[in-house]
Chains A and B, each alone.
Chain A
Amino acid sequence: MSQKNLDTVTKAEQTPDTEQPFAALGVKEDEYAQIREILGRRPTSSELAMYSVMWSEHCSYKSSRVHLRQFGDKAPEVDFLLVGPGENAGVVDAGGDLAVTFKIESHNHPSYVEPYQGAATGVGGIVRDILTMGARPIAVMDPLRFGAADAYDTHRVLPGVVRGIGGYGNSLGLPNIGGEVVFDACYAGNPLVNALAVGVMKKSEIKLAKADGPGNQVVLFGARTGGDGIGGASVLASATFDDGKAVKRPSVQVGDPFMEKVLIECCLEIFAADLVTGIQDLGAAGLSCATTELAAAGTGGMDVQLDLAPLRDSTLVPEEILMSESQERMMAVVTPANIDAFMAICEKWDVIATVIGEVNDSGRLRMTWYGETIVDVDPKTLALQGPVYERPYHRPEWQDALQADTPDSLSRPKTGEELRATVLSMISSPNLADKTWVVEQYDHRVRGNTVLGHGEDAGMIRLDESSNLGIALATDGNGRYTKLDPYHGAQLALVEAYRNVAATGAKPLAVTDCLNFGSPEDPEVMWQFAEACRGLADACQILGTPVTGGNVSFYNQTNAVPIHPTPIVGVLGLIDDVTRRTRSAFTDEGDILLLLGDTKDEFGGSEWAHVTHGHLGGLPPEVDLERERLLAEVLIAGSRDGMLSAAHDLSDGGLIQSVAESAIRGGRGVRLVLPEDVDPFVALFSESAGRAVVAVPRSEELRFTDMCKVRHLPVARVGVVDGTEVEVQGQFTIGLDELTQAWRGTLPALFG
């Protein structure tokens, strides 16, 4: 290896005036000056590489941090949060000796460039975050947003993304238990590929990412380091896609799920033997991130012999090794006494493991390359003390006009015939249509604990076969609502996921969020972001569901046109006994259908306005957090006390969409009798929040409605499970077969 061009600390001290390509690495001029000030000299090229990735938007949250603070400042006081934001993932007490960790992340930009690998490594990355907490990953979910369903490029992006999620997740042996597939032209050049993972561990086995104890060994294990994904985090995820501009688009990381599966089992065996004092995965910013974060959170110092890192490509230079985002790599801190046992387990699983460094109390992270010092920094300046921006923001001038452009003047179906036609065109529209074509490509059965999967309101996993303790998870988000009103739009995402969890009978506990927005350098986007954070933090405070972690994805825009602001919210719930869960299907003839909550004339941002008029304007449905809490309590009590045959939340497409889905799923018809004082169109299609439809056996009707009345939750009898048709009395009838065909046919016709 030629040392001739090696930039060392000594050389940096001797040649202060060497020009450095900081701008090409995404480092702003004032940031570069700050780095020089911190070091008291110019950075070596390796140090510059490390600062560039660690201070990137993706790793440092420099634009979002001032707003994200609210999640901590306004966090509700709870006794079940074992690890809060800041670690790889939040951890929640699941009762007994069990804890659950979960988190959502984005892999949007790579998935546009290379859909299969982008989506695959998105799953791989979030699963490693969960593993790093000491947990066995037990399920994944994928909320997805694509451009218009009939757009040419959607047919490149969607099949690749779906195959990538399946190809990687299925090979890890993780059930995929939920998520969303939403189409909107605003995502055409910026698809959103968010991935959520959840894991379970013993409370006593929670691991933290810190390098403690001088003399302890730093072990790099897993895949070899290659040239893939270099600069991925800093450059790719922090750049917009502009036409006609030579944008730096480095190669997307390429995943090897087999390596990750082996790595998971290897790590779990290492954890069970209690052989690590700290552990970190190598994700965005690779070795730069893992070494600096471990050192910064621990004793404070670390010496690393970078030339010992096993390479896939022997020509890689130190700067590239430090920035590489090769997948399936982990870093552990191991005491000298445990190192042999650690290595033996790695050998058992055929996992390459190499001691590349040692912890010390110098307060410095030093790296050498064949004996020459190439990095000598205070790790805190990389990991903790990155730049923080108070980006300017202001309410867009067009916001008032958008809100004033209400859907009230849009022509509405009036006759039974028109309502019938609307139902069929809505249920077959890409957003409301059956997603089986997508979810069939995911394994949802592996590990044998999937109690509820796709098609239900929330995914549910059994944690303990003897106690039947389980968790439920749902993700939701509505970009149209959030565009109309970012504050309430973010809250609507939260309450929908909260409601979905409660509809299965689980108690919603904690939140993870993936905040997908345009460029933070656009003050209007920044306003959307600020408002969404404020809304989410306020609502979490009132609902008592703390944000435990998550991810911000900025720069989702093309040619200065940002996506709809799209906060995706994941809610985790607990259920004492999974055999008590409520399904969404109407299965029992004669069951009474009850509508819970109030229905108002609310169509701003609705699926109806979108599908039938291509209209977006007005205000989204009102948010009533106390009502959501009450509804959740009733749904949970109904499930626990065995009063419910089925429950389904009402959201996109309104009452008729939910009823149709439950009828199709159960293979049973329904007869709906709408209240006489309400416009049938509003009753069927309004998207008012805080509502659910439940099916109760006749014998339970009185008990259940009494419970609602005692708790002051509006309840109305709206129909009965009956026959083989969906009939709205006095309006129209659609045979279950016709309805099913309309619902199921759309995605196979588009993508099959």
Chain B
Amino acid sequence: MSARIGVVTFPGTQDDTDALRAVALVGAEPVSLWHRDADLHGVDAVVLPGGFSYGDYLRCGAIARFSPVMESVIAGAREGLPVLGICNGFQILCESHLLPGAMLRNNGLLFINRDLTLRVGSTSTAWTSDYEVGQEIVIPIKNVDGRFTADQRTLDELEAEGRVVVRYAQNPNGSDRDIAGIANAAGNVVGLMPHPEHAIEELTGPYPGPATDGLAFFTSVLKKLVSA
């Protein structure tokens, strides 16, 4: 029996299709979750995909955080449910206080869609065990509010506790300490600004490649769920 991984659709979500495809590609069962429905339908893990939930009009992720589905996701995450927030999903996790910090407008103030080299900083999370510490991977970013920031103490804590999951090899937007993704202390909740679900197929992934470096986020969680 394979794992069931839920992908939440908020109004304004863009990358739900891509996240569902990634889940299916690694052999898990993709389950669409709806923002108004607090029932997680028995999923074993949740992906909060990219997009502009509720138009991101108040502040990125600020409204989504109060949706019925998030109440269940937050409760689940506190009990160890693996949750991956990508881009807007990361912003929602910060707004939900499942992860520390916040996202500011990029330096340069422009939307950036670029394939970037990331360095893996932690493999002890639910979503990164299939990588190696120090491994360089190529994953695209696409955002305008992607500059991660937090107070110095929080940043020191994240580093000291090995919770910086990935860093930019070349910082595209001024993120504090080149941080591209972080985890909670338990390692079940991970937030990423880059989009691993866009790096899963030779045909459509970063060019000239490597094109499928994003897959291991999904294989990592699947292995954890299947072995559990």
Interface on A for B, CB 8 Å cutoff? 163, 166-167, 170-173, 256-259, 261-262, 265, 348-350, 439-451, 462, 465, 578-579, 583, 585, 587, 666-667, 752
Contact = CB atoms under 8 A, between A and B. Distances in A.
9 contacts: A257-B52, A257-B55, A261-B52, A262-B12, A440-B112, A441-B110, A442-B113, A448-B21, A462-B204
Contacts of A446: 14-15, 18, 50, 142, 198
Interface in B178-208: 195, 197-198, 200-201, 203-204, 207-208
A349 B34 CA distance: 11
Contacts of A447: 17-18
Interface in B136-153: 140, 142
A451 B52 contact: no
B118 to A, nearest CB: 16
A553 B113 CA distance: 31
Contact of B208 (A349, A440, A587): A587
B195 to A, nearest CB: 7
Nearest to A265: B11
Contact of B204 (A163, A173, A258, A451): A451
B12 A171 contact: yes
A448 B113 contact: no
A453 B51 CA distance: 20
Given A261-B11, A445-B198, A440 B204 contact: no
A576 B55 CA distance: 37
Contacts of A166: 111
Contact of A444 (B50, B54, B113): B113
B112 A173 contact: no
Contact of A448 (B51, B55, B110, B197): B197
B18 A448 contact: yes
Given A445-B140, A445-B142, A451 B203 contact: yes
A628 B192 CA distance: 47
B114 interface: yes
B204 A449 contact: yes
By secondary structure, the B interface counts as loop
Contacts of A450: 204
A170 B13 CA distance: 11
A717 B51 CA distance: 48
A441 B12 contact: no
Given A171-B14, A451-B203, 14 more contacts: A170-B14, A170-B142, A261-B52, A440-B114, A441-B110, A443-B111, A443-B113, A445-B18, A445-B142, A446-B14, A446-B198, A448-B18, A448-B198, A585-B208
A440 B18 contact: no
Contacts of B52: 171, 257-258, 261
A462 B203 contact: yes
B142 A163 contact: no
A440 B113 contact: yes
B55 A173 contact: no
A446 B88 CA distance: 13
Nearest to A450: B204
- Of B36, B197, B208, the most chain A CB neighbours within 10 A belong to B208
Interface in B36-64: 36, 50-52, 54-57
A172 B110 CA distance: 17
Given A441-B112, A449-B204, A256 B55 contact: yes
A265 B14 CA distance: 11
A156 to B, nearest CB: 16
A434 to B, nearest CB: 13
Contacts of A167: 111
Interface string B124-162: 000000000000000010100000000000000000000
Contacts of A440: 110-114
Nearest to A465: B21
Contacts of A259: 55
Contacts of B142: 170, 443, 445-446
Contacts of A578: 203
A172 B55 CA distance: 10
B121 to A, nearest CB: 24
Contacts of A448: 17-18, 21, 197-198, 200-201, 204
Nearest to A159: B110
Contact of B55 (A170, A258, A348, A583): A258
Interface in B159-178: none
- Of A163, A261, A262, the most chain B CB neighbours within 10 A belong to A261
A462 B17 CA distance: 14
A151 B158 CA distance: 48
- Of A348, A444, A446, A587, the most chain B CB neighbours within 10 A belong to A446
A257 B57 CA distance: 11
Contacts of B114: 440
- Of B110, B142, B204, B207, the most chain A CB neighbours within 10 A belong to B204
The 9 closest A-B pairs by CB, nearest first: A258-B55, A173-B14, A448-B18, A445-B198, A441-B111, A166-B111, A443-B142, A262-B11, A171-B52
Contacts of A171: 12, 14, 52, 55
Nearest to B57: A258
Given A170-B142, A449-B204, A578-B203, A261 B12 contact: yes
- Of B51, B54, B200, B207, the most chain A CB neighbours within 10 A belong to B207
Given A443-B142, A578-B203, A173 B111 contact: no
A576 to B, nearest CB: 14
